Structure 1
């Protein structure tokens, strides 16, 4: 008989952290807990007007302690004593400035309220100017240092964010010894790390966001960065050379954190990774099947045997890195900068008048006004969905382009803007909502087309995450637009379950993560088949989407150039 063993997976999302405690042999969920980041919920340290989105490390630390201890308390002492491993996934690229001990600067009294000393969330686009500079600068070198990240560097990524923070804040610049991804810092914290040079960096974050590649011997050379900006001179010496897959151990749980969490000090802490990468494993990814983690944004993961991919580099995606998803395979990443966020934007737009007028109402009490607002807020997307689903297909309906938070892939460009066109006096809220759903599905198809066009065939689709589980309307449209079936994974917490699978592998309970996937995976409970009566209609609309997108992109270069120039001039000032 196998020894009873349990593992914990911790999933840091954009709005909350979730932990699950599962049976390491069956994948059965024993307990779970979710913690909403309180500072983030209050909108602290963020300014959407300038695309600044920062998160305080205390939200992460408090959320870690709250969710894990609640899981342990619910499961009971016998289960807690049998926990063998814990692994973590996070959003990314979400880096932070740290001192030599590896402590985020915002945890120091002098920087506790400074947004530049906090984690720069993936969706923070304040470094658009720096990303443009990196792309132009890379063309000056014989070695193509962008070849493994799709050929285009993004403002959502590691180096652009570092350079922006160093330029913007002299105090942070003076105190910043190193620059660390969220997914690397949490394992370092749990193992009691106190020297950032000893931190194990994940190949997932390093390869997809920080330009690390085995072919370069690690990161690009110092000259690449020093000639970009003298502020980066010598910075690679304070970073890392080696990077590790998530099936390896980062170390053991420190005595202090073991006591804090109610766990044995013998627990193995796995190397971290990004949420979509571990989520793909939790969703039982298969070679050449695109695993779509659909939440506020989408992250689309594909794995293929490394030998079959060979030297085929897919342009315009978020990189391809050996071992970034499954250690023995090539991991390829793409995605959309706004998916669920697009629907949330429209919901907030519709709710704005209600929120403002209710706050000034002399007819109802403040408590009633707040309750009414919450009720409408909860019902608005389901009702829009219900009404949109009943609309007949019409080629004259409103049309949308889904770049509401810029474009991630194919061909990253965070300066692009979304659009809604073809509006008339009959364009009501359900019709506009339908156009937005259609646009996000068309954006997803552009990604599939890019893989297919460049020799990496997409043979199937796997849907994961909140939108996949909760919106049959969106998933059916996705299947119709793609003209491919899409399987929906049974688990509601594929990222956390994926982290648990990696925890079990890092703890030595499985020889490889594929074995953990087979034993702990929950399978699929639903498949959306394309509707042949609709696929032809969407094919015509998709051709329009591509044409409208090209036209919109052509309209914006002057605006883009001015915006980048303004950003750079502001940096100089």
Structure 2
């Protein structure tokens, strides 16, 4: 009997996971997770200055350990049979998470002289050190003869490729002198596996380039060198050391190198797919369809939406333009041909903090445990108690009534991704009284993250992009019924939760099955491999009206926060 297996690798904020899938049956055979060692120790990060960097060794070690572990869980004879029938590997990562590389495509942090330099490491998606640079990009682009931000929602973000690159080049003379080019994490991993890391030859991800680096066919690729030099002379000559052509993830980046085939014990004909951003593969793993909003909910959120490039035959009601590719959607994280599903226009939005907002509150509440009780309670017991804080708060918050007089929070604790990227705005807690409790404050935070999601839906609808259904995936979607119920009631739509625990990795496996030639296109792979849905949350009609009133207060709170940014300069 013919056997064909694929591996999906999913690099998240804290860990990497490998998923082994039987490509013919669609069965998930096993998974393994590795938490980044250096990241877990808090190395190279400074939350006070919004600096978040990751060492490439964490990525390399994670790939080797997870693939080895997921294959090592089988008896020896079965394991060898599976290994010999692995056909392809595809990889997704967070983004924009770029790194400076030398002429060979080696991240500078892998060179001895840069091994402890955070500026030579991958600049994680949530690093917000480049606020000034993002502001300058927007100011110049909006008065340039071509507005290079127009396919990026009209606003360029501090979380993205050019902002981060320019910030590092300005800040670190040694990195500037050695950096030949720059790579996104999702481009470097496939290149590493194939052994072709030449920055001028690597097959760059359409997904990352279009959404994070202002790449578009109208521009002939990346923004013009004239524009980049005007932005800062430090960027002189950079365009020719990057790329012009990009590739969708149904295409191969190459074949696994002999070195990595030997390390992993795999055949030397394993195909390696072009990489992409994690949320985009997650949308595919959740079986995205046109006009379906797929919410990847974790530390932050990414909201993914696909529409046909020409929807003139689609009966969607009055007012919708015939070609959405000709309409510029304001305030989102880009609209890119083929970024999610090849042949479709992919749109991205999202929130800079979702689970991170809850995690921050958990850390605040754990102060007495860490600072006072640590002498009498073991570290293990402290960790156990901390892990119980958010579940206990969820139970208490779910029992509270919903009133228009409740506390209202603003979820911009890590800035605002969409609508209209602005990393300078801050989070707010309002309407506090002496009756405010930990549970009522947590309730306000959960509602705030739901209101942030509603603002995104509202923007799509204002821009004449209809949303027919909502699908959720990620750790919060699977583990937090209170959060999901609140979200369904605030959005006033049912929300289906994808069944797989590793939906992003599953999407990567789907693309691997296409690059291996097992399926002709990603739509066919979705039909064959999709895990379906295991739960649906429906709006609580009694709360919908009250949430709308609270949302109105949320919008006013947001206007106040933006005004304060203006006041503070």
Q: CA RMSD in A?
A: 0.9
Match of 1:496 in 2: 505
Task: For 1:91-490, list aligned pairs within 5 A.
Answer: 91-308=94-311, 309-359=324-374, 361=375, 364=376, 368-490=377-499
Report the more deviating stretch, 404-413 or 537-546. 537-546
| Rounded Cα–Cα distance in structure 1 between residues aligned with 2:111 and 2:368 | 41
Show the counterpart of 2:39.
40
1:531-560: per-residue Cα shift (whole Å, max 9, x none)? Answer: 11111111111111111211222122132x
**Whole-angstrom distance in 1 between the partners of 2:43 and 2:488:** 38
Q: Distance in 1 between matches of 2:359 and 2:5?
A: 37
Alpha-carbon distance in structure 1 between the residues aligned to 2:479 and 2:242: 41
Matched, 1:19 2:18: yes
Q: Determine which of 532, 535, 555 is the counterpart of 1:546.
A: 555
Partners in 1 of 2:292 and 2:25 — Cα distance?
A: 24
Aligned residue for 1:310, secondary structure, equals helix
CA contact (8 A) 2:325 2:345 kept: no
Shift of 1:53: 0.2
Q: CA deviation at 1:54?
A: 0.2
**Range with bigger deviation, 18-27 or 245-254:** 18-27
Check conservation: 1:96, 1:117, Cα contact below 8 A. Answer: yes
1:4-15 to structure 2, matched below 5 A, reads 4-15=3-14
- Per-residue deviation, residues 205-237 of structure 1 (Å, max 9, x unmatched): 000001110111111110010011000011000
Question: C-alpha displacement at 1:369, in angstroms?
Answer: 2.3
Is 1:89 the counterpart of 2:104? The answer is no
Say which of 536, 555, 562 aligns to 2:545: 536
Choose 33-42 or 531-540, whichever is displaced more.
531-540
Larger CA deviation: 391-400 vs 429-438: 391-400
C-alpha contact 1:72 1:262 (8 A) present in aligned 2: no
Tell me the distance in 1 between the aligned counterparts of 2:126 and 2:142: 26
Which secondary structure does the structure 2 equivalent of 1:198 belong to?
A: coil
Alignment partner, residue 566 of structure 1? none
Q: Assess, with a 3 A threshold, how the Cα gap between structure 1 residues 194 and 555 changes in structure 2: closer, same or farther.
A: closer
Q: Which runs of 4+ in 1 moved over 2 A?
A: none
CA distance in 1, matches of 2:254, 2:197: 13
Q: Deviations over 1:503-562 (max 9, x none)?
A: 010111111001000000010111111111111111111111111211222122132x3x
Q: State how many pairs are aligned.
A: 553
Single out whichever of 368-377 and 246-255 deviates more from structure 2.
Answer: 368-377
SS of 2:429's equivalent in the other structure is: strand
User: How big is the shift at 1:455?
Assistant: 1.0
Shift of 1:394: 2.0
Deviations 1:8-55 (A, max 9, x none): 000000000000111011221112100000100000000000000000
Contact 2:349-2:418 within 8 A present in 1 as well: yes
Alpha-carbon contact 1:398-1:432 (below 8 Å) kept: yes
Cα distance in structure 1, aligned partners of 2:197 and 2:22: 32
Distance 1:276 1:39 in 2: 24
**SS of equivalent residue, structure 1 residue 197:** coil
Deviation sequence 1:420-441 (CA, Å, 0-9, x none): 0111111110000000000000
Q: Structure 1 residue 481: deviation in Å?
A: 0.4
Q: Deviations over 1:271-318 (max 9, x none)?
A: 000000000000101110100000000000000001131311110000
Alpha-carbon distance, 1:371 to partner: 2.3
Q: Take 1:183 and 1:167, find their aligned partners in 2: how far apart are those partners?
A: 24
How many angstroms apart in 2 are the aligned matches of 1:305 and 1:195? 35
Instruction: Return 69-78 or 313-322, whichever deviates more.
Output: 69-78
Which residue of the other structure, out of 542, 554, 558, is the alignment partner of 2:567? 558
CA contact (8 A) 1:312 1:455 kept: no
Q: 3-state SS of the aligned residue for 1:227?
A: helix
**1: CA distance between counterparts of 2:380 and 2:238?**
52
Deviation at 1:418, TM superposition (A): 0.2
SS where residue 401 of structure 2 aligns?
coil
Give, in whole Å, the separation in 2 of the partners of 1:313 and 1:467.
31
Moved more, 387-396 or 368-377: 368-377
Tell me if structure 2 keeps the 8 A contact 1:35–1:67. Answer: yes
Query: 8 Å contact 2:119–2:168 — kept in the other structure?
Result: yes
3-state SS in 1 of match to 2:332: coil
Conserved 8 A contact 1:134-1:153: yes
The whole-number CA distance in structure 1 between the counterparts of 2:543 and 2:123 is: 42
Alignment of 1:78 with 2:76, yes or no, is no
SS where residue 389 of structure 2 aligns? helix
SS for the counterpart of 1:196 is coil
